[in-house]
Amino acid sequence: METPNNTSQTLLDRIRSRRLATTFTLLATLSVGILAGSVLTRNVSGKEQVGIDSSDARPLVIPSPVALSNGFSQIVKQVGPAVVNINTEELPKPATNKRKRGGQRMPQPNNPDSDDNSQQTPGDMQDFFNRFFGGQGGDDGDGGPGERRALGSGFIVDPRGYIITNNHVVDKADKIYVKLSSDPDDAGDPGRAATVIGVDKDTDIAVIKIDTKEPLPTIKLGNSDSAQVGDWVLAIGSPFSLSKTVTAGIISAKNRSIDEPSANGVSQTQFQRFIQTDAAINPGNSGGPLVDMAGQVVGMNTAIYTQSMGSQGVGFAMPANIIANVYNMLIGPEHKVVRGSIGIQFQTAQSSAVGRVYGFTNGVIVGVVTPNGGAAKAGIQAGDVLVSIDGRNIKDGDDLVNDISARHVGSTVKIGYLRDGKQNTANVVIGDRAKTYADITGQKDEELAPQESDAGEGKLGITVSAIPPSIAAKTGIKGGVIITSVRPGSFADEIGLGKSAIITAINRKPVTDEASYRAIVSGLKSKDDVVFVIQSPTQKNLNSYVGGTLP
C-alpha cells in the first residue's frame, strides 16, 4: 500500500509529463506552420528585390483636363478676378461725451454694432462683420486703447476702381484697404488704400474706390427679379479671411424681411428684402457677390442666421436690383440716397380681421401722420386706409413704400383712400424721407447732422476749441483755435500736429475762430494738400508750417 506522499509525487509527475507533452505538441505545430509559410513565401521579402521582371507593369498617365458639365469652374474663372478682399482699421478714439445723433441704422438684433456688445444671443439674426470680427484689435468698443481690425469682401463694377460692398464693412473705419485677387498674399501688405464714395445705411450698401492706372476686371449685375427659388448660385468671398473661397447652393427663398423696429416704432428694415440662400457663407463673406449660372451678380451677401457662429445654410443677400438703384445714387454728385415719403407710419403686418372690420381687402391703414408732411397737408388722417396710387391698387405696405420711395422729392402723387367706408382722393406732395424720419422721431435736422464742433474730427483727427484767455494773453494771439485732442493714427497725428498747438491759418486762409475753422475744414476733400500755420501756446511769434495730403 502506497503512502500519501508517494501518491502526491506520482500525481505531480503526471502533470509535469502532460505539460511537457502539450508543449512539445505546440512547438511541433508552430514549426510545421513556419516551414510551410517559408515554402509558400520563399520569393517574398521586405527588401527591394533584385532581378525581378516588372516590364509588364504600365505607368500611370495623368489625363488631359476635362471641363465638367456643371460649369461652376468656368463661372469662377470669369468673375473671380473682380472679387476683392477688404480689410479695415478703426483707430482708438478718445473718450468724449457726445450727443447721440439720429438717423436710421441697419437692423442688428442685440445691436452688435453698438458700444455695448454684451447682450447677444446666438440664435438671433447676426451681422457678419461686427459679430465675428468687430473686436479683433483688442478694442472693446468703449473707447479703449486697442486698434480694431476687420475683414470683409467686395466686388468691382467699374474698371476705374469702383467697388460695391456692405456699409457695415467700412462703417466707422479710419483706414480701408483693398486686395485684388491678383495681388500677392503678403501678410505684411494691407493692400491698396480705398476711399468711401457713399453709403446707404437703410440697405447696408456702400461704394468705395481705389486708384488704378490700368482698367480693373469687373463683374456684371444681373436682374434679381428673374432669379427663381431653386436656381443654382455661387457665393464668393473671404470667409474667415480665406480669400478666393467659392461655395455653391441654391436660392432658398426670395423677398425675405427681418422686421426690427427701433425703440420709437419706426421700422428699420423697410428697404431690406433679402434673397435667402443655402450656399455656405460665413463671417468675412460680407459684401461679396452671390452669382447665378450666367456669371452675373444676383445679390450681395449681407447677413446669416446662425446658432453655431458659422454657416447653417441660412444666408441673406441684398438683391441686385436694389444694389443697382442705390449705387447709381451714391455715385451721383451728392453721394447720397434720397428717398420719397408722404409722411405716414403704418403697421407692417396685420390680421385679416382688421381688413374685414374696416372694410378693405388690399391697402394700408394709416397709423401715424407726420405733422407738416405731405399726407398731413393733403388732409389724410390716422385711421384712413390708403388703397391706390395714381389709380393703381396698393397691395400692401411694401408696395406702397417701394412706389413712393422711388419718386422724386417735390413731385405729386394721387392717393386714393377710404374714410368711414367712403372713397376719397388727395394730391400728396412727395417729401424727403430723411426729414420725415426726423419729424417722426422728434429730432431736429441739426441733430441728424454732425456737430459743428467736431467738423475736423473725421477728416483731420483733431478736436479744437477757442483759445483760453490766459494763453491768448501770454502769446498775444488774437485769433485762431487750440487743438484739444489728436486721435492716434489719424492724418493730424501722422503729420505731427500736437495737442495744445494753436492753428491760425489753413491753406493760407486765416482761422480767426471756431466758425472760420469749421468753414475751411468742411471744404477739404480727399487727396487735397493741407498746410497749417501753427503757433506755440507758450512763446510769442513762433510760427511753424505743418502739412500733408489728406488720404
CATH number, domain of 496, equals 2.30.42.10
Residue 458 lies in a domain: yes
- Rounded alpha-carbon distances, angstroms, from residue 520 to 132, 457, 498, 512: 39, 13, 19, 11
Pair 404, 478 in one domain: no
Domain that holds residue 283: 72-330
**In the structure, what pLDDT confidence band is assigned to residue 438 with cuts at 50, 70 and 90?**
low
Pair 208, 151 in one domain: yes
Section 508-527 average pLDDT? 88
Pair 82, 126 in one domain: yes
Beta strands (DSSP E) in 81-161 are 83-90, 125-127, 148-158
Residue 285 lies in a domain: yes
Q: Tens digit of pLDDT for each residue in 150-163? A: 788 999 999 999 99
With contact defined as beta carbons under 8 Å apart, do 542 and 522 qualify? no
Residue 59 lies in a domain: no
Q: Tens digit of pLDDT for each residue in 101-144? A: 322 233 333 332 333 333 333 333 344 433 333 333 333 333 44
**Torsions phi, psi for 444 (to 5 deg):** -85, 160
Pair 404, 520 in one domain: no
Pair 371, 474 in one domain: no
Residue 500 lies in a domain: yes
Pair 206, 324 in one domain: yes
H helices of 374-513, where? 374-377, 397-405, 433-441, 445-448, 455-459, 469-475, 491-495
* Among 68, 133, 83, residue whose Cα is nearest residue 246: 83
The model's pTM? 0.61
The residue assigned the cell 516590364 is: 55
With contact defined as beta carbons under 8 Å apart, do 373 and 342 qualify? yes
pLDDT at 246 over 60: yes
Pair 108, 167 in one domain: yes
* Among 163, 170, 89, residue whose Cα is nearest residue 129: 170
Pair 205, 307 in one domain: yes
Pair 113, 201 in one domain: yes
Pair 381, 499 in one domain: no
Pair 379, 471 in one domain: no
Section 32-49 average pLDDT? 53
Residue 97 lies in a domain: yes
pLDDT at 336 over 60: yes
Section 518-536 average pLDDT? 88
Q: CA 387, CA 361: separation in Å to the nearest integer?
A: 9
pLDDT at 41 over 80: no
pLDDT at 381 over 70: yes
Residue 374 pLDDT = 92
Q: Among 448, 473, 500, which residue terminates a domain? A: 448
Q: Supply 498's cell numbers.
A: 500736437
Pair 491, 511 in one domain: yes
Question: Cα(first)–Cα(last) distance of the chain, in Å?
Answer: 120
Catalytic residue positions? Answer: 168, 204, 286
Residue 205 pLDDT = 93
> How high is the mean pLDDT of the chain?
77
Q: Among 421, 448, 475, which residue terminates a domain? A: 448
Contacts of 316 (CB under 8 A, 6+ apart): 256, 258, 274, 275, 276, 277, 301, 302, 303, 304, 305
Q: CA 533, CA 499: separation in Å to the nearest integer?
A: 14
- Rounded alpha-carbon distances, angstroms, from residue 295 to 86, 102, 276, 417: 22, 40, 18, 45
pLDDT at 211 over 90: yes
Q: Tens digit of pLDDT for each residue in 72-88? A: 888 998 999 999 999 98
Segment among 246-255, 412-421, 437-446 with least mean pLDDT: 437-446
Highest mean pLDDT of the ranges 285-294, 308-317, 394-403: 285-294
Q: Number of folded domains in the chain?
A: 3
Residue 511 pLDDT = 92
Q: How many CA atoms lie within 13 A of 187 on its CB side?
A: 2
pLDDT at 193 over 80: yes
Q: Among 448, 473, 497, which residue terminates a domain? A: 448
